[in-house]
Every structure is written in structure tokens, then in C-alpha cells.
Amino acid sequence: MTLLVSPTAAQAHAYVIGSDPVDGSTIGKVPAEVHIYFNAPISSISNAHIYSIQNGNLNEVNAAPSRVSPTNAQELITSIKTPDTQPEGSYEVIWTAIANNDGNTTYGIIGFDVGYSGTGVDGTTTLGPGSSNNLESVQKIDTTAILSIAWEWFTIMALTFWIGLLVVEQLVLSAGRGSGIFAQVRKRTYALEWLSLSVLLCGEILSLILRMVRLANALQQLDVSILLRLIPETAYGSIWLLRVLLIITAMLFLYFTHRHKQVQLPEPEPEPITNFERLSTEEMKAINPRKTRLLLETSTAEPIPAPRHNLIWLLLAGLITLTFVFTSSVVQVLTPHASAIVFSWLYLIAQGIWLGGFAYLAYVLLPLLSSAELEYNTETLTFLLRRLTPILLAGMGIQLVAGLFIGEASINDPQQLVTNPFGRTLLIQIVVTVITACLSVYAICWIRPKLTHQALLLPVVKADLPARRTRQSELNGTRRQLKLTARSLVVCGALILLCTALQQFFAPPIEFPNVKYDRQPITQQNRPVTSQTRQIGDLSVNLQLLPGRVGYAHTVIILINDNKGRPVTNAQVNLTVNMQLMDMGEGQASVQGGNPVYIATFDKHAAFSMAGLWDIKVEIQRPNQKTLTETFKITLTA
């Protein structure tokens, strides 16, 4: 089912697939560097900011700007200043990545703990879209996203129609029967070529601007210089410049060839008139002598571009399409790499031939061959469809075969067709593509032979007989059927391209390395501390929390000794408990003196109800003494 995915849509944005320290882990000491690994090459514009969380505040500890590893384009390295002096506790890495190949921006957060956990998980590694990548925000359909999808859609439609137009005109509309009609077609399509190239050019400019807008939204501070680096410091920017240059070259070539590079072929020998044309002409003379004379006097020789111009047009179309392939990171993850490029390029070309060719037939050729002209030009229409059929079938077949190779890199689990937005879009595209293929086969294998058969039977009957009028009516009905089918197919093609634009926005599901992350062993360096001793004024206070695990009632045991080591039994100890990073509600207890051991019990619902770092505020009151206060930090495990 994945054979219908478009290669340009399979451009996986740069998402995190691993990190060191691992997201969600607890380690023994602060590392000198944080390494983040992505599923695609990233640009040097990418950055990460590392923060130490102390008392609810974020303190940045970056030693220098982030850098891409010189040996791995998918690794971002960020150094921590004086790691030996950094405190224990929770650390947060806020990263922003710009994919080198497609220029799209992604971002997210990675967290790890040093010594003790302040995030609610101790020794447990968590890796995936729910932790490292902020997929909900990146894939949010906001105003910028809607504009990006819309212009991507317009650009793909323009490219598809332009390829179909070029292929049909260069390979089908050649000198021969109906060349006079073909000359009229070329005149009408000149404006359509300008429109397609103009949409491509505007689409590229707006696409770059929208990428800059998404990057600006992801940056913590707006920096215009960083936005301008998107062109020179990404492969996308370089290929974007080349693509814009090729589009402008095509526009200039269209302008000069239209005005100066046309070659007028010599008047060919008149073609033998067929029996059908003779009867049709006699009938039309009786109806409209002037129109018949104009049709008969129209030269069958048309001004067509020189053969070298045909090659240049096809070369320009191939190069522009190839630049779209190079900005798709799917060719970076598929192996062999050369095969990925070739199949992606063939997919786009075949899509233009198939969908663009039918759009050209529906909105350019069929309207021209309409009404009374359809009957006069029936043999021209059947001749045209006969030449167009193998090209359309070849385009459809190549697209499906190329998509089969490309699709394997996008969907690896059939469940993703339902659970992932990219997969759901792909599923819709599959259904619409099947409908489009059925319509294509119906038009080519059913309507075209029927039209040819009716055209051959029409001249057998004289013009003044009722049977001829019946066959004319049947011929007009088949023509309307062909026109309706072709336009329905174009609508389905537009939906397929809309799905392609949505797939480019969502990107394929993240494929994480097949690595099993186990709970880290508890060592002396990273063991959660549930017993602590502090010097508070002239007192030595030892606090123990039992059992130190979520889901149980907890007992706080406090031992107090004076500066001579003697137990203090006449104090009143007040305890206030709350979670450090999340307000879970304060739990309070008060213990009177009279015993060297001060014990307070907290119900499992009143305090210590979630794994993570908890603050235990201890207040000691003694007769005729100053009140002493200290806060202990104890980590609960799940």
C-alpha cells in the first residue's frame, strides 16, 4: 500500500533519534558535552541551549555556540562551561534544528538529571516523539502552515501541468494529420506556459520566505542574520538558487523562442481526403459555407520549434525536476543512493506525464475540438488519442513502480496509516490514486476505442439519412463522456497533489534506531538519596524518608544532636512537604519533643504521591532559642 507515496513528500525533517546523555536518564556527573543525533543532516544554523534548573529557575550553562560534528552531519554538539563546578539536579536542553536538505525547522526539549532526578523519573531513559521532539507544535496547522501547504500545492500543480504540457506538445503534437489544429493549440498554450513558470517562480520565493518565518518562530530571539544564513549555509539554499535560475532561464527561453526562434515549415503535399471528411465537408457546406471554407483553407503546416529547441525544453524540465529531488532528504536515507535519486526523478516526471497530460487533454485539446468542429476533426481526435495513449499508460506505470521503491522508506508499519497524520494523508492519497487509475483505464481502454469505432462508422451513412443524425448524436455523447471523465480525473489528480503537499508538511513517521534502553543501574554516584545529614546552626540534623517510593505512606524520621553530640529531646519540629517542580499541595506535620527520635507519618495521598524531587522544609523550635530552618531535597522513585 505504500507504493503511492510521493518522493518529494518523503523528505524526513530533522528529528532527534538519540542523545548523549539519553533523554530522561539520570547520570553521575555533569558531562563536558551534550550530543544530539538526528535522522537527517542538519545545517550549521542549528543550535541547542542547555539549562540547569535550580529552584525553579533556568540558568544557561553553554560554553559556546553549538556546532555540527565534522565527521557526522547528523550530530549536534554543545559544550557545557566548567562542568566540574555545575550543580547536581535537573538539566534541560532546548534544541532547534534546520534540515540541511529541505530547509525545514524542527525543535524540542531533552531532559536529564545529574545525581538526583528532578523530573519525576529516575534512571529511566525515554526516547521518542513524546519527549525529544515537539511534534505537536511542529505539525500544528496554523496560519503559516496553511500558507506553506497551499503554496506547496500550487507549485506541485504548476510543475505537473508544465511537464504534461511539454511532453504532449513535443512528442504528440507534431506535423501530420490535424497539424493545423495543433498550431492553434500551441498559440493557446503559450499563456499557460507563462502561467506555470510564473507560479513555479513565485512558489519558490514564497516557500523560502515561509521557511524563514517558521525558523523565526522557533528561535528564542529574533535574529535577522540567522534567517539570512538559510540560503548560504544549507544545501537547500544552494539548490534553491539553482532552481530559481533554471526557472528564469526557461522563462527567457520561452520568450525568445516565441518571438524569434520559430521555423516555418514548407507547405506539405495535401493529405488524401478521407470518405468521412468528404461527407462531413459536404454537410458543413450546406450548414455554414464560410466556416467550412476557413477550415479547408487552414494550412496543415504549423510553425513548430526547431528540433534542438525540443531537446532544450525537455532538458530544462528534467533539470528543474531534478532540483526538487535533491531537496528531498528521502534520497539521503535510501540505499543505494543513486537509485533513490533516479527513482524519485522518474516519479516526478511520470506524475507530470500522467496527471499533467490528462489536464492538458481536458482543458486545452477537448475544448478546442468541440461542437461542430468535433465532427469535422474526429479523425484528428482519434489520431491524437492513439498517440497519447501509450505515453499516458507509460507515465502511470512508471509512477506506480517508482513509488513502490520510494514508499518503503516512508511507512514501515501499516498501523501508521491510521495513527500518524502523514500515514492518514497517505491512505487518502492511495484511495484517490486508485480511483484516478481506474478513470484513466476507463478513458483509454473503453471510451477511446468506442469513439474510434463511432468515427469509422459515421461516413458509411449518407448525410441526409436519419441514421447519420443518430450516429452523430452518439458521437457527441461519447465526446461529452470523454470530457467529463478527463475533468473528473483532473480533480482527482489535484487531490493527489494536495495530499503530496500535506505529506511534505507532516513528514514521514520518525524511525528510531533499534536500541533497547534499559533502566540504568543504581550506583553510588546516581543512587537516589533518601537519608541526609545537615548542619543547622549549632545542631546536626539527620533526616530519613521511608520507603522513598511512590504509592506508599511515608515516614519521616529526624535525629537531632547538639554540638557536643548529645540528643536534643525538647524541640518542636514542624515539617512542610511539597514537590519542587510542580505544586502538589503542601503536606504539613508537627512533632513534639520528649523523645530523641522525631517521627512524622504522611498518608500516600497527602504527600509524596509522585516520583521526582520533593522539598522537605524542617523548622526546629527550642525554648529560649532562635528558630532554625532548613530544606532537605529527597528524590522519590516510581
pLDDT digits (tens, 9 = 90+) for 156-188: 999 999 999 988 887 877 645 445 566 667 777
Distance CA 71, CA 548 (A): 45
Predicted local confidence at residue 279, as pLDDT: 45
* 3-state class (DSSP) for residue 597: strand
Q: Which of 557, 547, 543 is nearest to 604 (CA)?
A: 547
Predicted local confidence at residue 120, as pLDDT: 42
Predicted local confidence at residue 407, as pLDDT: 67
Give the residue-averaged pLDDT of 409-429. Answer: 83
DSSP β-bridge partners for residue 67? 77
Q: End-to-end alpha-carbon separation of the chain, Å?
A: 42
Confidence bin at 394 (pLDDT 50/70/90): very high
Predicted local confidence at residue 250, as pLDDT: 94
Which residues touch 21 (CB under 8 Å, ≥6 apart)?
A: 27, 31, 34, 112
The C-alpha cell that represents 398 in the structure block: 512508471
Predicted local confidence at residue 56, as pLDDT: 65
Distance CA 434, CA 428 (A): 10
**DSSP for residue 618:** E
Task: Measure CA 54 to chain center.
Answer: 37
Q: Which of 495, 496, 634, 493 is nearest to 558 (CA)?
A: 634
Distance CA 21, CA 90 (A): 12
Q: Which of 193, 200, 159, 500 is nearest to 318 (CA)?
A: 159
Residue 363 identity (one-letter amino acid)? Y
**DSSP for residue 214:** H
Predicted local confidence at residue 272, as pLDDT: 47
* 3-state class (DSSP) for residue 312: helix
pLDDT at 47 over 70: yes
Q: What is the pLDDT of residues 369-383, one digit of tens each?
A: 764 454 556 677 777
455 close to 379: Cβ distance less than 8 angstroms: yes
Predicted local confidence at residue 329, as pLDDT: 54
Predicted local confidence at residue 119, as pLDDT: 42
Which domains are assigned to the chain? 2-138 (2.60.40.1220), 531-636 (2.60.40.1930)
What is the residue-wise DSSP string for 44-112? TT-EEEEEEEETTEEEE-BSS--EE-TT-TTEEEEEBSSGGGSPSEEEEEEEEEEBTTT--EEEEEEEE
Give the residue-averaged pLDDT of 595-605. Answer: 84
Q: What percent of the chain has pLDDT over 70?
A: 76
Which residues touch 143 (CB under 8 Å, ≥6 apart)?
A: none
Q: What is the pLDDT of residues 50-97, one digit of tens each?
A: 998 876 678 899 999 999 999 989 899 999 999 888 888 888 899 999
Which residues touch 424 (CB under 8 Å, ≥6 apart)?
A: 417, 418
Give the residue-averaged pLDDT of 209-230. Answer: 82
pLDDT at 10 over 90: no
Distance CA 526, CA 247 (A): 60
Residue 448 identity (one-letter amino acid)? R
Q: Which of 87, 42, 33 is nearest to 64 (CA)?
A: 33
**Which has the higher per-residue pLDDT, 523 or 80?**
80
pLDDT at 34 over 90: yes
Residue indicated by cell numbers 547538639:
562
Q: Which of 257, 224, 231, 258 is nearest to 245 (CA)?
A: 231
Give the residue-averaged pLDDT of 569-576. Answer: 91
| Angle formed by the axes of helices 143-171 and 378-407, nearest 10° | 130
Residue indicated by cell numbers 491524437:
384
Give the residue-averaged pLDDT of 422-428. Answer: 87
Predicted local confidence at residue 240, as pLDDT: 93
Q: Torsion angle, CA of 427/431/437/439, rounded to 10 degrees?
A: -160
Predicted local confidence at residue 6, as pLDDT: 43
- Phi, psi at 522, each rounded to 5°: -80, 115
Distance CA 304, CA 323 (A): 29
Q: What percent of the chain has pLDDT over 90?
A: 25
99 close to 14: Cβ distance less than 8 angstroms: yes
Residue 439 identity (one-letter amino acid)? L
